[in-house]
Amino acid sequence: MKIIVCIKQVPGTSEVEIDPKTGVLKRDGVESKMNPYDLYALETALRFKQTHGAEITVVTMGPPQAESVIREAFMMGVDHGIILSDRRFGGSDVLATAYTLSQGIKTSGGADLIICGKQTTDGDTAQVGAELAEFLGIAHVAGVSQIHELSDREIALDLDLPLHIESVKVKLPGLVCVEKGIYEPRLPSFRRKLETAGRDIKVYTLDDMVDTDPNHYGLSGSPTQVKRIFPPESTNTHESWEGSDAELAERLFELLEDRKFLQQLR
Amino acid sequence: MAFIKIHQEKAENPTALVKLCPFGAIHYDNGKLDIDSGCKMCRICIKKGGGVFEYVEEKNAPAVDKSAWRGVAVVAEQTAGAVHPITFELLGKARDLADKINHPVYCVLIGYRIADKADELLSYGADEVFVYDDPALEHFRIEPYTAVLEDFINKNLPSTVLVGGTTSGRSLAPRVAARFRTGLTADCTKLDMQPSTDLDQIRPAYGGNIMAHINTPKHRPQFATVRYKIFPIPPKREAIGKITRCSLANPQLNSAISVQKVTEKKREVGIEEAEVIVVAGRGIRKQEDLAMLEELAGLLGGKLASTRSLIEAGWVNPRCQIGLSGRTVKPKLIITCGVSGAIQFVAGMSGSELIVAINTDPNAAIFKSAHIGIHGDLYKIVPQLIEKIKLEKGQ
């Protein structure tokens, strides 16, 4: 069985701020790490390596430095790594990112099962997995909180929905997005670091893809355009209210209504 | 294709230019500036680079005929036949957006034995409700739901499609957006409509410290998801409009997913998971008075918690203590009643989104942390507040 896990290198901190005067993003240092949600996807795949002898490949899209998250995945026990890197992939939105990943996966020969994390900490959209499944023409499920059984033909699992737990079976090939906490991710091993230090990582550029039309990638392949970025309005008010008890109760009621805390009652 | 052109000859101080990029995508190697795929096209280098970086856009990039796409569509969210309130919130917003460009508001209702809900959707502002009612649509499964929405879009050509940012919406919207190879903006917090029918989408980025304004200028339909409780529910009106029954042939409703079992979750919410918390402090005179705060918490769909002193008095379960020696909470709303605001307590709740403090002592430390500080008597204010909420609720 072949399993692909999609991973991403993200900024070490999500505390990015914008300078209100110059409009420039302020970022302290350029430290990066593996998207923390991806660790759960990796752990899920690695358990199938132990129980089913599955062969695990990680795929990431990003600058050449993103190699470091593939090395980290090797240290956890992943077999192969592919990096999709090309300047022409720059400026990709959700659609172009998912399309590029789908092309990279097709070029690599595909997989029986694709596992993604819940979301990334920088893009925060939680939507690349669903678009990727669409481009690959396979079923997907999100919110996977538990896996019961995996066979060559299907996977049985639980979906964590707001009010229910839904137990479903998905025919393979398929794509699953796992929840944080599905398993406790293992730590990278020093022994594996030594063993995998010289392991090759495949690099695919646009020219390696099945579809080599540059208009389908990067900024040109992105229907959404960021018009501008700006600092959020500060909501940190410090108000002091005084008045009669009736006035104060009325003001508080209006505040709760205005902030939609009474909405579920209707 | 669009790209950033680098005018190497203009680069007087390349190392300073490298630092311009917040994503570290600009490099200076062997006397040459280069941009790698870390580029997010934020275009700060173009603004601040003194002409070294130029944005080059393909002149004749194809765009759709926007006049062929009319209507603002809302995908109704329902579980087991009950319509989720996010649907009404989106209908209210859709009405505002559609009125600006004189477009109709559509609502797509997908499920099994749900046709009787269509009237309710009309009364929240839809002009036409499209009902897809089929046993194959009983559970949310991605392929049949995608096929249904695809069918609706192909037949009605809506300009904008709004989907709730719920578990299923966050699966369905991207799937259909990808099928139409069009843009999707997730978790919008503000939406507006331009005369060109381009949807202005504002969403938080990078952990919420930055807002991004996003457009989908050349593609239709334009997809946006919005989370629950971002927009208000509009007032109900008379259910005027049209209900259209639709159906889809069976092969399109096939799925690789089969639902084996649906189990209701046990809803034992601890104070850490509660979205609303009412806190009882030392200002509570006797144990029986906690019932009043418990009632307020219940009316707000929240939980009652307390400071250490009431735990020590044995009035409250220790699992409900907030503070360094108790639990740390981050609810959307916390109302502290008669809480002085010791540092140990504040440390356990200062991350709350909205902090309302009621205390008779104007010098209470809690007012330093509160967003809304109410100088008053909780014994007078809380009962009146409870009455108002009950009245609103129709009890």
């099945």: which residue's tokens?
A: A210
CATH code of A180's domain: 3.40.50.620
Residue B93, SS3 per DSSP:
helix
Rounded to the nearest angstrom, the gap between the alpha carbon of residue B55 and the centroid of all alpha carbons in its chain is 33
Distance CA B219, CA B203 (A): 19
Q: Which residues 265-304 of chain B have a CB within 8 Å of chain A?
A: 265, 276, 299-301
CB contact under 8 A, B187 and A124: yes
Give the residue from B7, B8, B35 showing the smallest Cα distance to A64: B35
Among the partner-chain residues B36, B42, B186, the one whose CB lies closest to the CB of A229 is B42
pLDDT above 50: residue A91: yes
Mutate to test the interface with B, among A227, A244, A258 (most CBs of B within 10 A): A227
| Residue A266: predicted pLDDT | 42
Mean pLDDT of all residues in A65-78: 95
Contacts of A227 in chain B (CB under 8 A): 213-215
Residue A222 domain flag: no
pLDDT at position A15: 58
pLDDT digit string, tens, across residues A236-266: 678 899 999 999 999 999 999 988 888 764 4
Report the mean per-residue pLDDT for chain A.
Answer: 90
Q: What is the 3-state secondary structure (H, E, C) of B71-91?
A: CEEEECCEECCEECCHHHHHH
Question: B276-389 — its CATH code?
Answer: 3.40.50.1220
- B170 touching A (Cβ < 8 Å): yes
Residue ranges of B 325-364 with Cβ closer than 8 A to chain A: 332-333, 354, 356
- Calpha distance B141→B248 (Å, rounded): 15
- Interface with chain A: mutation pick from B123, B206, B378, highest number of A CBs within 10 Å: B206
Q: Which residue would you say has higher pLDDT here, B392 or B281?
A: B281
Instruction: Give the SS3 label for residue B194.
Output: coil
Inter-chain CB proximity A30 and B385 less than 8 Å:
no
Would residue A106 count as lying in a domain?
yes
Mean pLDDT of A111-126: 89
Q: Which CATH number among 3.40.710.10, 3.60.20.10, 3.30.70.20, 3.30.70.1060 corresponds to the domain B3-56? A: 3.30.70.20
**In this predicted structure, what is the pLDDT of residue A29?**
52
Q: Which residue is listed with tokens 């570290």? A: B24
User: Which ipTM was obtained for this model?
Assistant: 0.89
Range of the domain at A73: 2-216
Average confidence (pLDDT) over A44-49 = 97
CA distance B395 to A122: 45
Domain ranges of chain B: 3-56, 66-253, 276-389
Count of A-B CB contacts under 8 Å: 313
CA atoms within 13 A on the CB side of B179: 20
- The answer as to whether A252 is a domain residue is no
Contact A118, A126 (CB under 8 A): yes
pTM of the shown model:
0.83
Determine the topology of domain B66-253 in CATH: Rossmann fold (3.40.50)
Beta-sheet pairing, A32-34 with B105-111: unpaired
Closest CA to B333 of B288, B384, B392, B275: B275
Tell which A residues from 134 to 173 touch B, by Cβ distance under 8 Å.
134-135, 138-143, 156, 159, 161-171
In a domain, A251, yes or no: no
Angle in degrees, 0-180, between the axes of helices B378-393 and A245-258, rounded to the nearest 10: 50
Asked if B356 and A252 come within 8 Å (Cβ–Cβ), the reply is yes
Helices (H), B331-377: 343-346, 366-369
Instruction: Say yes or no: do domains B66-253 and B276-389 share a fold.
Output: yes
Q: pLDDT, tens digit, for every residue of A150-204? A: 999 999 999 998 788 999 999 999 999 999 889 999 999 999 999 999 999 999 9
Does any CB of chain A come closer than 8 Å to the CB of residue B159?
no
Alpha-carbon distance B197 to B63, whole Å?
A: 13
State how far the Cα of B214 lies from the Cα of A221, in Å rounded to an integer. Answer: 15
